A = this chain, B = another copy of it.
């Protein structure tokens, strides 16, 4: 017997016919509405079961205009930072029985734009976006005011929407201050692209801590890996460190934009038999799972990633349920803390 790959699904009409009632009665039975004879209901449920009925949610959504779905656009789902934030989103969504359509933009603007369009076409109830770009003009235009959207993980000025991110300036500040306290005289920073607000904030904190102690900050002390593709942070950290070593830069401390970059830096230093933390102290950022497993264990700035995701979902949920846009937008800033381990 040849079977269709996707055999026809049973509809409420099929059920109605078999039960000798109208489709409307079936609909009410299956949706636990009042005004239905318990016996009819039971009978209908039995037939639905027998026939293997599975509702067609497109029809429901088309009618009700509610999808109980949000879209989440992340740059790289295999990056532990994002996957841990995602976990928080997922947890909150499960609690509210919401579905998630997750998309990997690879940090590419064209992808983000395309995905947002797709999500709009799917009439998701809201979107969580990890902004990665310099500018969001086209996307702002696409979304207009008609849609709940939350920016997660990075601040983006010039777009009046809710945002949630961590206190980057503080993070950069406490990391650098700690390095100074430990006696570092010449601290380098390896960071991500400049227009990235997270990078920007961390640099500010870095500078603040240094100038506060009367230490000079020179542009060349801030190494920007502008060719970073998502997923290659480790390599970039490695490359930048090797470069500094080759140039015979003097330094006794490195503050890394994130833990992955720090892993790369550590690898490079180890290869050159430079002792951590004795010769060079390293501080990372994010505190991803693996940072307590590498050697030396990484001193880093902890961001509460799961909380960020969890809160982000609840922010969008609130917007969705509110139904009305008020014109006040919230910027939620999460606290960070320094986790002292072995590397600094």
A interface list, Cβ under 8 A from B: 2-7, 9, 52, 54-59, 61-62, 77-78, 80, 83-84, 86-87, 90, 99-104, 117-118, 120-123, 125, 142, 144-148, 234, 263, 267, 289-290, 293-295, 319-320, 322-326
Chain B residue contacts of A293, Cβ below 8 A: 234, 263, 267, 290, 294
Are the CB atoms of A57 and B290 closer together than 8 Å?
no
Q: Please, which residue of chain B has its CB at the minimum distance from the CB of A91?
A: B104
A319 contacts across to B, CB distance below 8 A:
5
Contact between A3 and B55, CB atoms less than 8 A apart: no
Residue of B nearest to A320 (CB): B5
Q: Is the CB of B78 within 8 A of A86?
A: yes
Residues of the B chain whose Cβ atoms lie less than 8 Å from the Cβ of A323: 4-6
State the Cβ distance, A240 to closest chain B Cβ, in Å. Answer: 16
For the complex, give the distance between the alpha carbons of A125 and B5 in Å: 10
Contact present for B62 and A121 (CB under 8 Å)? no
Is there contact, CB below 8 Å, between A7 and B56? no
Q: How far is the CB of A151 from chain B (nearest CB, A)?
A: 17
Q: What are 8 residue pairs bridging A and B, where the CB atoms are less than 8 Å apart in the complex?
A: A5-B324, A57-B122, A58-B123, A78-B80, A78-B86, A99-B101, A234-B289, A290-B290
